[in-house]
């Protein structure tokens, strides 16, 4: 399948693995890229730029295909060493960077001068237009269904993707609620040039996370996620568990008086304990509503091959047959 995204990034299939904290390691990124998609290393999971350089080198040893690095710009008191991370990305020969969070304008000149293509993750059309204005090559349009941070507009992809198609000139991919061939074909029909999957790639053989996490995603339905930190305007979609229930109870009790410190124990620094140790109740962790469409744990090659084969059947068979 040929789209503006496959052409832009030099990949076989218009499928991207999104950056995910303590999930996007070299093993997963290489497996996705080897299967014809675009794998992504999560930059800030690596504690230092030196660690990221090592992770890029590990990925390079496992694939000769293009892969990306995610760089999320966070509103923090102590900022990560972004210049160091950018240097590691450039020196590592990475060809694609997925930016997320705050405006990435500060690093764009360095990435562009190195010939790196930049795709920025956005949760609204206005943010996508800003990304286009500052020179991003593509955007990932993140609907309300997504795991992690869906923004504060609550617009699902059935509306958000066509709106993006109406406004944007640069290519974009769908993100949030993407799991299978139906997701891909629907995204293409609404104007996207491919799709970005996060939660779906967590439930794969190569995802370097505890089996408990994969099993929890497979067991979950579309009704099992919750939205936390809404009063703080830092909304996050997570899989429900005991910690999430504690957070929701505190938010309900304190209302507008709640502070991050009130819930920090259940939301900050929990990812190693969840993803590595497999403690499913220790804290809140991002998961999309798309868990309701995930019923198995294939290899990345099996997953992408299945998506592309079924997409071909939908387009050539079901849709063409309606004409």
- Burial of 71: CB neighbours in 10 Å, binned 0-12, 13-18, 19+: buried
Sign of CA dihedral 222, 42, 175, 237: positive
**Cβ distance 212 to 278 under 8 Å?**
yes
pLDDT at 77: 65
Paired strand residues for 72: 100
pLDDT at 253: 96
**φ, ψ of residue 104 in degrees (nearest 5):** -90, 15
What's the rounded Cα separation, in Å, for the pair 146 and 151? Answer: 10
DSSP per residue over 197-213, as a string?
ESHHHHSSTT--S-HHH
What is the side-by-side order of every strand in the sheet holding 195-197? 15-17, 195-197, 172-175, 138-142, 117-122, 96-101, 67-73, 39-42
pLDDT at 321: 92
Per-residue pLDDT of 293-311, as tens digits, reads 999 999 999 999 999 999 9
pLDDT at 79: 87
Question: Three-class SS of residue 174?
Answer: strand
Q: Tell me the pTM.
A: 0.96
**Tokens of residue 123, six digits:** 């949760």
Per-residue pLDDT of 189-212, as tens digits, reads 999 999 999 999 999 999 999 999
**Cβ distance 24 to 42 under 8 Å?**
yes
In the block, residue with structure tokens 């303590």:
22
Paired strand residues for 121: 140
If we measure between CA atoms, which residue out of 171, 170, 178, 161 comes closest to residue 5? 171
Q: Which letter does DSSP use for residue 294 in this model?
A: -
Torsion from C-alpha of 304, 310, 311, 314, nearest 10 degrees: -170
pLDDT at 75: 73
Q: Count other C-beta atoms under 10 Å from residue 149's C-beta.
A: 18
Residue ranges of the chain whose pLDDT lies below 70? 77
pLDDT at 320: 94
**Tokens of residue 182, six digits:** 């139906």
pLDDT at 177: 97
Paired strand residues for 99: 71, 120
Torsion from C-alpha of 308, 311, 313, 316, nearest 10 degrees: -120
**Tokens of residue 202, six digits:** 């967590």
If we measure between CA atoms, which residue out of 212, 226, 242, 234 comes closest to residue 286? 226
Paired strand residues for 73: 101
């Amino acid at each position: 399948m040929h789209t503006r995204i496959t052409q832009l990034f030099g990949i076989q299939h218009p499928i991207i693995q999104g950056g995910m904290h303590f999930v996007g390691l070299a093993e997963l990124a290489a497996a996705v890229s080897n299967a014809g998609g675009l794998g992504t290393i999560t930059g800030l999971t690596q504690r230092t730029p030196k660690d990221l350089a090592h992770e890029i080198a590990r990925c390079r040893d496992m694939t000769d295909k293009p892969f990306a690095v995610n760089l999320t710009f966070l509103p923090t008191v102590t900022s990560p060493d972004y210049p160091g991370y950018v240097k590691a990305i450039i020196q590592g020969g990475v060809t694609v960077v997925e930016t997320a969070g705050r405006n990435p304008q500060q690093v764009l000149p360095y990435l562009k001068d190195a010939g790196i293509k930049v795709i920025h993750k956005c949760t609204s059309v206005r943010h996508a237009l800003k990304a286009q204005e500052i020179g991003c090559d593509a955007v990932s349009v993140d609907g309300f269904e997504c795991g992690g941070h869906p923004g504060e507009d609550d617009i699902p992809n059935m509306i958000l993707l066509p709106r993006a198609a109406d406004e944007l000139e640069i290519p974009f991919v769908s993100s949030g609620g993407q799991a299978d061939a139906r997701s891909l074909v629907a995204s293409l029909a609404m104007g996207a040039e491919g799709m970005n999957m996060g939660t779906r790639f967590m439930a794969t053989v190569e995802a370097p996370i505890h089996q408990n996490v994969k099993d929890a995603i497979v067991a979950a339905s579309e009704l099992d996620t919750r939205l936390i930190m809404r009063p703080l305007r830092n909304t996050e979609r997570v899989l429900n568990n005991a910690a999430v229930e504690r957070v929701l109870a505190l938010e309900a009790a304190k209302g507008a008086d709640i502070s991050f410190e009130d819930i920090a124990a259940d939301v900050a620094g929990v990812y190693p304990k969840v993803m590595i140790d497999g403690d499913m109740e220790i804290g809140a962790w991002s998961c999309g509503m798309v868990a309701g469409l995930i019923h198995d744990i294939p290899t990345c090659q099996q997953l992408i091959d299945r998506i592309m084969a079924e997409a071909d059947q939908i387009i050539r068979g079901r849709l063409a047959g309606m004409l």
